[in-house]
Structure 1
Amino acid sequence: MNTQLKTKNTGIFCDHGPSNWQSSQTGTLSTKRLAVKDVFAVKGERNSAGNPCWFKAAKPAQQTASSVNNLMDAGCVFKGFTHTDELAYSLEGNNIHYGAAQNPNLKGHVCGGSSMGSAAAVAGNLADIGLGTDTGGSIRIPASYCGLFGIRPSHNVIEKDGLIPLAPPFDTVGWLTQSAELLEKVGDVLLPSQAINSVNTLVICEPLFELVSPALQAPLKQLLKKTKPYFKHHKNFELPNISLLSELADSFRILQGRAIAKVHKDWLQLPEHPPQFAPAIAARFKMALALTAQEEKEALNVQTQWQTLIAKNLNSTSCLFLPTTPTTAPKLGADTSALRMQIITLSAIAGLSRSAQVHLPLANLANGHPYGFSLMMSHNNDKSLLACATQLAAYFKQETLT
């Protein structure tokens, strides 16, 4: 394994960790370049999790994370660790210590976080596969902003050993690619054996369209119109109470925050080496530590309602059409504090229901900004969802050609 200092684009590759490491010359992903978010263990290496204080205290890993091992066994070439927002607790894609990765497909704009480096590496053709994590949207948001295919798998279908946690009840191992075909091939390596069903029903929840920027509502509806003919059946998502949408973001914020506090409380409160964070992330950790058991109980009630709704509306042959992000990528340095909760309102649906969600970058906006939409399936239908995404992307391409 080669370990060397890497002086690559700001905000993309870390200076530490292996470079151009390949453990297998053969496999279904042979020679595919792999960029790995700096929260995955590699034997003998340390991780920063986006924070110098964490890196300083970290010890070399005893074992490589099984998700990384599986990709290496399939023939991948490990290009390097990639930068992340601090402890992956942000959707912005800007690290106060290591910089912000500029969006390769939209200059002057962010990649989104927290898997920013992995997204930038793939979008900038520095890697073929970007391995990352998705807790509250950290694969899906960069996929939307950078024009990539990305998946947040069902919760706990992929082992999370060797992974620095953020909020274990929501943490997932996800990945980004430039094509739906490669996204599916990676799934064949990382996902367990699952039945692959033909997805023939598109489920539509109209109120979700009102959660995106007014300028994007018409393009999104056009994408839906173009998607519909691919599916044999269409049905409306039965939302008994519109207020359930307004409770999504806060419920997720509370449940994620409580989980973060349980995992990181001791480290956050070390008197001898207090970690230094960007102001917004420091405020988030402070909020998490102040949350109460009563708030958690109320949020769990909302989660239960959403799990019931998803079970009622989705099955092994149906998927939900939904916006991935309410806007395209913000400009570098823009104030995104208000945008965060708008994003979480959309991304929390999969998180709270433990569902699988794929972003498809199939929009063709007049201003050239990357954008698209998501398909979501209920828990443990990941391979069906990936197969559907591959076929739908091919359908879009054919429709464009004709």
Structure 2
Amino acid sequence: MSTKNNNTTGIFCDHGPTLWQTNHSGVLANNRLAVKDVFAVKGERNSAGNPHWFKTAKPAQNTASSVNKLMTAGCNFIGFTHTDELAYSLEGNNIHYGAAQNPKLKGHACGGSSMGSAAAVAANLADIGLGTDTGGSIRIPASYCGLYGIRPSHNVIEKDGLIPLAPPFDTIGWLTQSAELLSDVGNVLLPNQAINNVDTLVICEPLFELVDPVLQAPLKQLLEKTKPNFKHHKEFELPNSSLLSELADSFRVLQGRAIAKTHKDWLQLPGQLPQFAPAIAARFNMALALTDQEEQEALKVQIQWQTLIAKNLNTNSCLFLPTTPTTAPKLGADTSALRMQIITLSAIAGLSGSAQVHLPLADLTNDHPYGFSLMMSHGNDKSLLACVKHLAAHFKQDTPA
């Protein structure tokens, strides 16, 4: 599959299998599957978004179990999709392979790092976009491209055959155009879990202040439309606002330390320094320079958030929260400041190991895709997917024909 076609620039990789199907029946029969180029397929190499990685990679001995499960369920593998380098970006712009233009918003970014998978689904070139989410790499593209996207609870899906970024935070997620298909994929990939009735909506008002002022009113309208679907409404008890301001930096440090431990040897191979985009190179250098002391301080913040989530959420409640502070930025825009604003929101699930789903249900007058997220505590993925499916159906009924 070529990346030279204007419609697929920055979406599909040149390497890997295409139109590969191992089972023509199953619960996901004939759904087109686009797979982020960090998942192993037996006999194939991955680039992880970097030509140097691809050059030095060896063909995989086995296919990742997550891919195997989807193939057994009847999916049609249509191609590997591009990612930001080693998935260490939320931008969706690869200096080696190009940037995928947002199919729902011409001239704007898809977000990253699961950019190719998101663009493939948003452009209706695929039905399911398999990707990863470490710091927001499923949730941000879902928000920008108007898709449903899930970051599952940490470690509920096996990560064998996955090129890691930061193992303590890496999750396998997916993107779809519908809540129904999002849930169907969950039935294939997620373990057996109790499905509880989610009757309580938890609201954290200070989170709304982290969103662009022009989006605060639409977001509150979405909240008001969501509330009637829940029997109870509860405020998220935040002991002090400084905890919000510490989120992004704490996540940056803990993620960076994990990345340094995972990739230090490869990054420091003598005479083989890989070429990275300047912003990504700077992040790797930052990660390598972090100290034990910085990690210990960040861990204290993580423990505080884990305690807060345990106190505020249970098996019958979900948190309503903004997914991104803005709609999709223009392609090539400087997003360095935006990155930390995004992480302030996305780090809540990351630091607590929670499950989060983006719902693309905003109806903005400028046609920019936008929506909101629901989040549940660890291990409640199927309850969350059932809740999302119900809520999406309710929103659909309320939409004028």
Unpaired segments of 5 or more residues in structure 1? none
Secondary structure of the structure 2 residue equivalent to 1:247: helix
In structure 1, distance between residues paired with 2:359 and 2:58? 38
Return structure 1 stretches of 4+ with deviation > 4 angstroms.
4-8
Alignment-derived partner of residue 261 in structure 1: 260
Alignment-derived partner of residue 381 in structure 1: 380
Please state how far the C-alpha of 1:5 moved relative to its aligned partner: 5.6
Deviations 1:111-141 (A, max 9, x none): 0000000000000000000000000000000
Secondary structure of the structure 2 residue equivalent to 1:225: helix
In structure 1, distance between residues paired with 2:161 and 2:399? 43
Alignment-derived partner of residue 57 in structure 1: 56
Alignment-derived partner of residue 183 in structure 1: 182
TM-score by length of 2: 0.99
Please state how far the C-alpha of 1:6 moved relative to its aligned partner: 6.2
Do residues 200 (structure 1) and 181 (structure 2) align? no
Deviations 1:357-387 (A, max 9, x none): 0000000000000000000000000000000
Secondary structure of the structure 1 residue equivalent to 2:99: coil
TM-score by length of 1: 0.98
- Of all paired residues, the percent bearing the same amino acid is 84
Work out whether residues 205 and 321 of structure 1, in 8 Å CA contact, stay in contact via their aligned partners in 2: yes
Please state how far the C-alpha of 1:400 moved relative to its aligned partner: 1.8
Work out whether residues 90 and 113 of structure 1, in 8 Å CA contact, stay in contact via their aligned partners in 2: yes
In structure 2, distance between residues paired with 1:27 and 1:215? 45
Alignment-derived partner of residue 29 in structure 2: 30
Do residues 371 (structure 1) and 376 (structure 2) align? no
Work out whether residues 260 and 288 of structure 1, in 8 Å CA contact, stay in contact via their aligned partners in 2: yes
The residue type paired with residue 170 of structure 1 is F
The residue type paired with residue 271 of structure 1 is P
The residue type paired with residue 219 of structure 1 is P
In structure 1, distance between residues paired with 2:13 and 2:259? 24
Alignment-derived partner of residue 209 in structure 2: 210
Aligned pairs for 1:293-304 (under 5 A) are: 293-304=292-303
The residue type paired with residue 91 of structure 2 is E
Work out whether residues 3 and 9 of structure 2, in 8 Å CA contact, stay in contact via their aligned partners in 1: no
Aligned length: 399
Alignment-derived partner of residue 150 in structure 1: 149
In structure 2, distance between residues paired with 1:75 and 1:137? 28
Work out whether residues 32 and 129 of structure 1, in 8 Å CA contact, stay in contact via their aligned partners in 2: yes
In structure 2, distance between residues paired with 1:47 and 1:397? 39
Do residues 290 (structure 1) and 262 (structure 2) align? no
In structure 2, distance between residues paired with 1:398 and 1:34? 29
CA RMSD of aligned residues (A): 0.8
Aligned pairs for 1:3-402 (under 5 A) are: 7-8=4-5, 9-401=8-400
Please state how far the C-alpha of 1:89 moved relative to its aligned partner: 0.1
The residue type paired with residue 318 of structure 1 is S
Unpaired segments of 5 or more residues in structure 2? none
Work out whether residues 49 and 84 of structure 1, in 8 Å CA contact, stay in contact via their aligned partners in 2: yes
The residue type paired with residue 79 of structure 1 is I
In structure 2, distance between residues paired with 1:153 and 1:277? 29
Secondary structure of the structure 1 residue equivalent to 2:399: helix
In structure 1, distance between residues paired with 2:9 and 2:399? 36
Of 392-401 and 9-18, the range deviating more from structure 2: 392-401
Please state how far the C-alpha of 1:401 moved relative to its aligned partner: 3.8
The residue type paired with residue 63 of structure 1 is N
Distance 1:342 1:6, change over 3 A: closer
